[in-house]
Amino acid sequence: MALMEFIDSIWCGLCDFASYVWGNADLVAFLCLAAIGITAAIYVVADKLPVHSAFYLALVFVTVAVTYFFLEAEFIGVIQLLVYVGAITILFAFSIMLTRKYINEEDFNDE
């Protein structure tokens, strides 16, 4: 009989957890978004290729913009997307791509 009570308590706990998650879907979405943003921020500094770091930075900017949407600051979120993701990240990517050619030529000339 103790085994059935144990299984019943586990089932009730799972049902309570499921109802809590269903009632707080915005919390779950925010936690997933935060995990994606923190992981991308770690990859910004840990990745060895600068182009990949620039695009991970764009992902961090997107997660910040979506966080603004969660806070019901839509205008700030749109500005975040347009200015940071649209302009700054592309500027970083172009500058990395344009300077990489000269760096590779200097390395080639040194050998």
CA-CA distance, 4 to 7, in Å (whole number)? 5
- The H or E element that residue 65 is part of is helix 50-70
At residue 94, the pLDDT reads 84
Just give the CATH number of 2-110. 1.20.120.1200
pLDDT in tens, 42-98: 999 999 888 888 889 999 999 999 999 999 999 999 999 999 888 888 888 888 888
> What global pTM score does this model have?
0.74
- Distance between the two ends of the chain, CA-based, in angstroms? 79
In which residue are the tokens 């590779």 written? 104
Domain ranges of the chain: 2-110
